[in-house]
């Protein structure tokens, strides 16, 4: 897979459903020159009043809303695919996008969809991962950025960041500290994918040799 090109920036399509702090961290990395050759082509949401969308508009970025209610997953995702293609998106970044993607969507962007999950996968997939980790009593927590495949929170891992869980933590403070790591991890993962120096080998994302 060759994503990087000297002639054209790598275009991101961000999908979000909520406050969009991961999106904002990515936008800051782009604006501050920490993701050279990368630009955000469009920010898309399935939630019309998502705070992240408002933040994208305030940054002057193109936005789109596709409300999923009353539509099949395939119908909804067909609109999404068309929108991302119209904006020439190379890499889709799920940033708190709380809706499962159809197989058609995943096939449309093979190994070109990243997701961030607030646990050290494969531990605690699914919803409220930080609460799951805290309730389980883990001593180390963290976040994962991974490629999306057809299974939930399962694809090849690009970046993980780990933090200790002190006894003074509660579920809320733990989630807040994981979020700080998420904001670092997502830009690092995009840098790796955009840079063209890494490749997928089996389940591993490793530096190319030669």
Binding positions for ligand GAR, rule: CB under 6 A: 16, 18-22, 52, 95-96, 116-118, 129, 179, 182
C-alpha separations of 197 from 33, 40, 70, 189, 203 in Å: 19, 21, 43, 12, 17
Q: Which is nearer to ligand GAR, 77 or 181 (CB)?
A: 181
Q: Which is nearer to ligand GAR, 18 or 62 (CB)?
A: 18
Instruction: Please report how close the Cβ of residue 8 comes to ligand GAR at its closest, in angstroms.
Output: 27
SS3 content of the chain, % helix, strand, coil (to 5): 35, 25, 40
Q: How far apart are CA 14 and CA 20, in angstroms?
A: 10
CA 13 to chain CA centroid, Å, is 10
Q: Which is nearer to ligand GAR, 4 or 179 (CB)?
A: 179
Catalytic, out of 76, 87, 117, 151? 117
Look at residues 112, 170, 118 and name the one whose alpha carbon lies nearest to residue 144.
118
Please confirm, yes or no, whether 117 is among the known catalytic residues: yes
Q: Which is nearer to ligand GAR, 4 or 65 (CB)?
A: 65
Instruction: Please report how close the Cβ of residue 177 comes to ligand GAR at its closest, in angstroms.
Output: 11
Look at residues 69, 74, 99, 95 and name the one whose alpha carbon lies nearest to residue 13.
95
User: Could you tell me which residues come within 8 angstroms of residue 179 by beta carbon, excluding any fewer than 6 positions away?
Assistant: 21, 118
Look at residues 114, 113, 48, 41 and name the one whose alpha carbon lies nearest to residue 83.
41
Instruction: Please report how close the Cβ of residue 22 comes to ligand GAR at its closest, in angstroms.
Output: 3
DSSP state of 152: T
Instruction: Please report how close the Cβ of residue 18 comes to ligand GAR at its closest, in angstroms.
Output: 4
Catalytic positions: 117
């Amino acid at each position: 897979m060759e994503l990087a090109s000297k002639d054209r920036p790598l275009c991101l399509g961000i999908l979000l459903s909520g406050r969009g702090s991961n999106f904002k961290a990515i936008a800051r990395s782009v604006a501050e020159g920490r993701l050279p050759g990368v630009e955000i082509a469009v920010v898309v949401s399935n939630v019309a009043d998502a705070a992240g969308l408002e933040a994208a508009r305030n940054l002057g970025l193109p936005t789109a809303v596709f409300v999923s209610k009353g539509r099949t997953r395939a119908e909804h995702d067909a609109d999404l695919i068309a929108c991302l293609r119209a904006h020439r998106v190379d890499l889709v970044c799920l940033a708190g996008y709380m809706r499962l993607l159809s197989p058609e969507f995943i096939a449309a962007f093979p190994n070109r969809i990243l997701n961030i999950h607030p646990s050290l996968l494969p531990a605690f997939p699914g919803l409220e991962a930080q609460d799951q980790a805290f309730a389980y009593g883990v001593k180390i927590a963290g976040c994962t950025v991974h490629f999306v495949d057809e299974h939930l929170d399962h694809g090849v891992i690009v970046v993980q960041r780990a933090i200790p869980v002190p006894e003074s933590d509660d579920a809320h403070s733990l989630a807040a500290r994981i979020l700080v790591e998420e904001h670092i991890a997502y830009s690092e993962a995009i840098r790796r994918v955009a840079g063209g120096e890494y490749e997928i080998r089996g389940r591993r994302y490793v530096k190319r040799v030669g």
